[in-house]
Amino acid sequence: MSTVVALDLGSSALAAAEMKVGRDRVSLTKAAFAPLPPGLMSDGEVREAADLAGELKRFWKENKFSGKKVRLGVANQRVLVRTIELPVLDDPQELRAAVQFEAGEHIPIPPDESIVDFQPVMRYMGDDGERERVVVVAAYRDMIETLVAVVKGAGLQPVGIDLEAFAILRALLPAPSVLDEGADDTPAQAVVHVGAETTNVIVAVDRKCHFTRLVGFGGGQLTTAVAERTGLSTEEAEAVKRECGLLGRPMEGWDPDTVAEVRHALALGARPLVREIARCLDYYRSQPFSRPIDRLVLTGGTSLCSGLDRYLQQGTGMRVELGDPLSQIDDAGAIEPEVATRCAVAVGLALDGGR
């Protein structure tokens, strides 16, 4: 069996997952997360490289991950995702050349300043013959190089970098069956990953990303809303946000009036998030290639806020389910569900190296 380790450097925490990969079995052998001091990462980008490398080195040593080779994910405003359409090209080199050429028309980053990758998502019959829809990902080269330098500074070796949206889909959605893949009547699935500072809204068909948008709103804003309304410290507001939430059982010993204020703050604070998610999904529905969305899967650390899924369901009018990052793994051992939720991106990154 081989070992795959993946690392997610979030704005407020580090998370990693380690998997043992066999011919017919993938086992999650370790997953861990740890909070980061404020200011080291912001909006998905490195701000204090040396300090972040030190935190990462300490995190790796304390959790005793196997090996030094790691897979990484990226998601920030300096990563652009566009959908383009091309004639079907079966030769991989011709397809890559065509994508690189078309990317110049759609991606507002100079070629020498960007790193471009792509993922074909579907073929269809157009007016002038068979065509292929391709999702193109372009990232600023300096941002990627800074991320890689931090990881190397911690004594680790990056062996792959992927878009976080792709990793999230691998962790939460089952792979399509051979018989159903590519069917015209397959509905879309929406996945919403709510992190500390940003929310990733993704729409997929057959586990392939057809649309993704990063929204500048995360769980940190909800914590701030609770703290400002109740006068609680940030740490207390974070705890009561998660434990009490919008619908959860009040924490033992908490005053009922305070609990009511917490829930009122969360309800008001979550409105902008629900509106932005709805706008993203409406934009997807306006596209000529859109499909009916069957359900919305909620994930990310903020999904641990009790009742947020039901609040989102009421606000969007869609069926909302809490995601399970362990659902695509044969053996998750004794990994706690909360740890798995916080490590969803890392789990999906590791799956890319295992399946």
List the domain boundaries for the chain.
2-75+143-171+327-354, 182-323
* From 136-150, 183-197, 340-354, the region with the lowest mean pLDDT: 340-354
Tell me the pLDDT tens digit for each residue of 211-223. 999 999 999 999 9
Residue 293 has pLDDT above 90, yes or no: yes
Q: Do domains 2-75+143-171+327-354 and 182-323 have the same CATH topology?
A: yes
3-state SS assignment for residue 148:
helix
Amino acid 18: pLDDT? 95
For the chain, the first-to-last Cα distance in angstroms comes to 13
Whole-number pLDDT of residue 179: 64
In this structure, the strands spanning 79-87 and 129-140 are antiparallel
pLDDT at 71: 96
DSSP 331: B
pLDDT band at 353 (very low <50, low <70, confident <90, very high): low
- 8 A C-beta contact, residue 344 and residue 171: yes
pLDDT at 354 over 60: no
- Per-residue pLDDT of 81-129, as tens digits, reads 999 999 999 999 999 999 988 888 889 999 899 999 999 988 888 778 8
Domain at 182-323, CATH homologous superfamily: ATPase, nucleotide binding domain (3.30.420.40)
Q: What is the mean pLDDT of residues 196-223?
A: 95
Q: Is the pLDDT assigned to residue 203 strictly greater than 50? A: yes
The predicted pLDDT at position 255 comes to: 82
When pLDDT is averaged across residues 252-265 and rounded to a whole number, the result is 86
CATH topology of domain 2-75+143-171+327-354: Nucleotidyltransferase; domain 5 (3.30.420)
The SS3 call for residue 322 is strand
Phi first, then psi, for residue 187 (nearest 5°) are -75, 165
Token pair recorded at residue 7: 């690392």
Question: Does residue 67 surpass a pLDDT of 90?
Answer: no
Average pLDDT over residues 1-12: 90
What mean pLDDT is reported for the chain?
Answer: 91
d(CA 51, CA 73): 20
pLDDT at 355 over 60: no
Q: For the full predicted model, state whether its pTM sits above 0.75.
A: yes
**pLDDT mean over 168-196:** 88
Percentage of residues in the chain having pLDDT higher than 90: 73
Inform me whether the pLDDT recorded for 139 exceeds 50: yes
So what's the pLDDT on residue 249?
72
The pLDDT tens digits for 267-289 are 999 999 999 999 999 999 999 88
The two tokens of residue 79 are 């990563």
User: What Rg value do the Cα atoms of the chain yield, rounded?
Assistant: 21
